[in-house]
Amino acid sequence: MKYFNANKKNALNNLEKVLNARKSKQQNQSKIVKKLLLDVKKYGDKSVLKYEKRFSKLKTNTKKIKFSKEEIKQISKKVDKNLKRSIDIAFARIKYFHTKQKFSSFKYKDKFKNELSYKYSPIERVGVYVPGGTASYPSTVLMNCIPALVAGVKNIFLTTPALGTSVNPAIIYAAKKCGVKEIYKTGGAHSIAALSFGTKTFKKVDKIVGPGNAYVALAKKEVFGEVGIDMVAGPSEVSIIADKQSNPEWIASDLIAQAEHDVFAQSILITDSKELIKKVNICLKIQLSKLPKKDIAYKSLKNYGLAIYAKSKKDILNVVNHIAPEHLEINYSNYKPLIKKVRNAGSIFIGKYSPEAMGDYIAGPNHVLPTSGSAKFSSGLSVSDFLKRHSLIKISKSGIARLGPSVINLAQHENLEGHAYSVQIRLKERN
C-alpha cells in the first residue's frame, strides 16, 4: 500500500488527487453503450442475443433467454444443504431488518380545514441485475430483492449471465426464495437495455437495481429517465480507522477482503500509529501469498491501497469525511466520539468483531451502498427505494378564501395569469 501523511500542508487536496487517479483509469465506453441501447430498443430479443454472443463468446444458437419454471425448480434442488441453510438465515435477517424501515402515511387538517397528507405505494415492476462473470453472488440477489419484496413490489424480474453456461444454483434458489417472477439468462449492458425498453421476452420494468461492470453502470446511467435506477456504483471500497491497539492481522484481512473484489477496488487504512502501518504491511504480504485471488488483490492494493497516517482524531475525521467511503470500519479503542462526527459513509462497522464481510452477507442492513465519494449525498439501498410517495391535497372553501389571494399575488408576480385565474374563478363563486 502507498503511504500518505495527512498532517502535511494541503493534505486533503493531495488526497483528492490520489483518489481521482483511480476514477480516471476506469474506461469510458459510453459510445458503445449508447449504440447498444438503441439497437436493443429497435430490434429487441434479436439484439440481446447478438450482444450476448459477442460479449460472452456464446457458441450456442439457443433462443431460450428465460428460465422455465421447471428449470428453476430443478436448479434450486442442486444447492448444497449447508449453503441453503446459510441463505435461509441471511434471508430471514435481511428481511427482518428491512421490515423495521417503516414509512407511515400521515394526514392532518390545518386551521383552515385543508386536508394534507402523504401516502406510499410500491413500484409496480423492478428489474434486478446480478453479475455472473468472474464471480456470482447470491448475496446480491438477497440484498436487491428483499427490500423490494418488503416494499410490496409484486413483479420482480432478475437477469444474470447464464445463457449457454452453467448458472450458480444458489442464485436461482435465492431468487426463488425472494419471489422473483421471471429470471433471464443474459448479462451485460444489453440486459439493462432489455429491462428498460422491454422485448418479446423481457418485461419492461419501472426501476433497475443491482451492480455490474463498467458497461452495466454506463447503461444504467444512460437509461435513467426511461426507468429509475438505484445508483451508478463504482468499484468497491473500504476505509478502516485503527489505532496501535488494533490487531494488525485482522486489519490486513479486512483490507484484503475488499481488494479481492476487483483490481480497481480500494482499501484504505487510516491510523495514528506508524508502527501499526508497518505491522499491517507485513501481514498483508503473508496473507496475500495464501489467497486464491491474490493477483486481483495484489493489483488493487498496489495501485489503489493507501495507508494514511493522521496524528489526531480531528485529522482522522477530516480524512474519512473527505473520502466518504462505501464501507467504514472503526477499529479504534475509544470509538464513540468518532462515530458521532462521521458524516460521510455508506455503512459503518463498529468494533473489532465487525468486519465488513458480516455486512456483506448476514448482519441485516443492505450492502448496496454509495461508492466513489457519493456517500456525501446518498445512502444505501432501502425499502424507500421501492416506494413512491404521493402528496394528497384537499383545500376547503375557507382554505381557498384565506390562502387564494396569496396564490394570486405569487402567480401574477411570476407572470402566470392562468394560475392566478384558476384561483380567482373559484373565489368569485363565493360572492
CB 218, CB 189: distance < 8 Å: yes
Phi, psi for residue 412 in degrees, rounded to 5: -65, -35
Claim to verify: residue 56 and residue 193 sit in the same structural domain: yes
Q: Which of 237, 326, 329, 356 is catalytic?
A: 326
What SS3 state is found at 417? Answer: helix
Claim to verify: residue 61 and residue 166 sit in the same structural domain: yes
64 or 47, higher pLDDT: 47
- Cβ-based neighbours of 313, under 8 Å, separated by 6 or more: 272, 337, 338
Rounded to the nearest integer, the mean pLDDT of the chain is: 93
Q: For the segment 307-339, what is each residue's pLDDT rounded down to a tens digit?
A: 999 999 999 999 999 999 999 999 999 899 999
What CATH number has the domain bearing residue 220? Answer: 3.40.50.1980
Q: Which pLDDT does position 24 carry in this prediction? A: 59
User: Does the pLDDT value for residue 217 go beyond 50?
Assistant: yes
Enclosing domain of residue 353: 2-26+234-363
Residue at a domain's end among 229, 247, 279? 229
Claim to verify: residue 338 and residue 413 sit in the same structural domain: no
Predicted confidence band of residue 26 (pLDDT cuts 50, 70, 90)? very low
For the chain, state the CA radius of gyration: 25
Predicted confidence band of residue 430 (pLDDT cuts 50, 70, 90)? low
Q: Which of 327, 329, 356, 367 is catalytic?
A: 327
Edge-to-edge strand order for the sheet containing 347-350?
2-5, 306-309, 266-271, 237-242, 327-331, 347-350
Within 10 angstroms of residue 115's Cβ, the number of other Cβ atoms is 14
Claim to verify: residue 68 and residue 204 sit in the same structural domain: yes
Instruction: Tally the C-alpha atoms within 13 A of residue 335's C-alpha that lie toward its C-beta.
Output: 19
Claim to verify: residue 246 and residue 132 sit in the same structural domain: no
Claim to verify: residue 130 and residue 180 sit in the same structural domain: yes
217 or 58, higher pLDDT: 217
For the segment 175-194, the average pLDDT, to the nearest whole number, is: 96
Claim to verify: residue 264 and residue 215 sit in the same structural domain: no
Phi, psi for residue 122 in degrees, rounded to 5: -75, 155
Q: How many structural domains does the chain have?
A: 3
Q: Which pLDDT does position 259 carry in this prediction? A: 96
For the segment 161-180, the average pLDDT, to the nearest whole number, is: 90
User: Does the pLDDT value for residue 129 go beyond 50?
Assistant: yes
Tell me, yes or no, whether 373 lies in a domain: no
Whether the full predicted model's pTM is greater than 0.75, yes or no, is: yes
Residue 355's identity, in one-letter code, is: P
Burial of 116 from C-beta contacts in 10 A (0-12 / 13-18 / 19+):
middle
Residue at a domain's end among 308, 340, 363? 363
Residue 327 known to be catalytic? yes
End-to-end Cα distance, the chain: 78
Residue at a domain's end among 318, 337, 363? 363
Claim to verify: residue 249 and residue 205 sit in the same structural domain: no
Q: For the segment 237-280, what is each residue's pLDDT rounded down to a tens digit?
A: 999 999 999 999 999 999 999 999 989 999 999 999 999 999 99
Residue 16 known to be catalytic? no
The DSSP secondary-structure symbol of 266 reads: E
Predicted confidence band of residue 213 (pLDDT cuts 50, 70, 90)? confident
Dihedral angle sign, alpha carbons of residues 177, 96, 232, 103 = positive
